[in-house]
Amino acid sequence: MGLDNGLYVTSDKRMITREMLPEGIVFPFDNDYGDRVEIAYWRKCWGLRDAILRRFGDLPNEYITDIDTPEKVMELIEEIASWLDEEKWEDEGRSIWSYDEIRRSLVQNIVNLSIIYTVMLGNPDVYLQFYDSY
pLDDT in tens, 34-43: 778 999 999 9
Q: What pLDDT score does 61 carry?
A: 59
Query: Considering the chain, what is the average pLDDT of its residues?
Result: 91
What DSSP string describes 13-40? Answer: SS---GGGSPTT---SSS---SS-EEEE
Q: What pLDDT score does 92 carry?
A: 97
Q: What pLDDT score does 134 carry?
A: 60
Q: What pLDDT score does 70 carry?
A: 98
Binning pLDDT at 50, 70 and 90, where does residue 33 land?
confident
Q: What is the 3-state secondary structure (H, E, C) of 70-93?
A: HHHHHHHHHHHHHCCCHHHHHHHC
pTM for this structure? 0.92
